[in-house]
Amino acid sequence: MKKISFTEKTFNFFKNFQCNFYKKIVIFEEVSSTNTKAKELASNNEVEGTIVISKKQLEGRGRNNRVWQSPEGGLYLSIILRPTVNTKVTLIPLLGALSIVKTLDSMKLNSSIKWPNDVRIKNKKVSGVLIESESTGEKLEYIILGIGVNLKSDILDFPKEILNKTTSIENEIHNNTDYYEFLEELLMNINEYYIQFKNRKYEFILNQWRKNSDTIGKNVKIKTKDDEIFGEVLDIDSSGYLIIKTESGSIRTITSGDCQYLEEI
Ligand code: BTN
């Protein structure tokens, strides 16, 4: 029997997938990085709602210039967004993480978000979000929402240094998951949260994040580009930035960085 390729299966899935937001789908058997491709397309004026999806990535990228392991079995996609307000776009990564958590919820899988947008099951990372954007002067041209999910990935394909902090969905449920059911649910959730964003329901997004994260209240070590900060997490602010009370008692707002829970070091 002829084996159907990923491209063909994915093409068929999108033929039957009805959600007006997604305007164009670009499918790869393999690609350097779906984010890189999406950026190229966005620079060539491709519309909001364009999806780039690949069976695997050869140079998958994570936050802070890290590699995102992208073997077959994972889900790798990037979506072009062109929000018309350029305030509050720092909430877009939160919206990505929330969409993943909600998708996992629908599979009865409990997960939580570690700031800024790592999605974890039993403290092991299962998914991540990479946001890249381009502006001309004040004008935001586009945002790429890149999402990677270790869905059916065999965790033994991952380097052993990250095995104790990484998992995949199938590794957690010890059962088969349907790639396309997951994809459908995820894309619907992204669309719904993005509608909330466009309707300026920022507090809703922030509160959902607070509810689904385990970061608030934790003692943390934050590594920024040029600093290491220790403290207790008090909250996130209206931009999604982390507010911490440092060891010396001062309050600091962290806009980006790596967050580690002290209890896990
Ligand atoms: C992270 O947690 O460090 C973010 C990981 C984001 C990975 C996704 S996979 C699809 C898209 N293409 C990439 O190269 N990276 C993102």
Model confidence pLDDT, tens digit, residues 216-228 = 999 999 999 889 9
- Say how far residue 152 (Cα) sits from the centre of its chain: 17
Å from CA of 129 to ligand 1 middle: 6
Query: Helices 179-198 and 6-16: crossing angle, nearest 10°?
Result: 50
Q: Which residues have C-beta within 8 Å of that of residue 167, sequence separation ≥ 6?
A: 121, 122, 124, 125, 126, 150, 155
Q: How many CB atoms lie within 10 A of CB 104?
A: 24
Tokens of 187: 């894309």
- The verdict on the CB of residue 66 being under 6 Å from ligand 1 is yes
Atom of ligand 1 nearest to the CA of 125: 2
Terminal-residue alpha carbon distance, the chain: 51
Evaluate whether 252 touches 246 at the Cβ level (below 8 Å).
yes
Tokens of 254: 């962290």
What pLDDT is stored for residue 225 in this prediction?
A: 87
- The verdict on the CB of residue 61 being under 6 Å from ligand 1 is yes
Tokens of 97: 């993480």
Q: Give the rounded percent of residues in the chain with a pLDDT score beyond 70.
A: 100
- The verdict on the CB of residue 117 being under 6 Å from ligand 1 is no
Q: In the chain, which residues have pLDDT < 50?
A: none
Atom of ligand 1 nearest to the CA of 57: 14
What pLDDT is stored for residue 86 in this prediction?
A: 74
CA-to-CA separations, 165 to 61, 62, 137, 201, in angstroms, rounded: 18, 15, 40, 33
Model confidence pLDDT, tens digit, residues 131-170 = 999 999 989 999 999 999 999 999 988 999 999 999 999 9
Protein residue with its CA nearest to atom 9 in ligand 1: 148
Closest by CA position to 207, among listed 129, 122, 121, 98: 98
- The verdict on the CB of residue 35 being under 6 Å from ligand 1 is yes
What pLDDT is stored for residue 1 in this prediction?
A: 74
**CA–CA gap between residue 179 and residue 87 (Å, rounded):** 34
Rounded to 5 degrees, φ, ψ at 188 are: -65, -40
Helices assigned H by DSSP within 174-262: 179-198, 202-212
Rounded to 5 degrees, φ, ψ at 44 are: -95, 30
What pLDDT is stored for residue 22 in this prediction?
A: 97
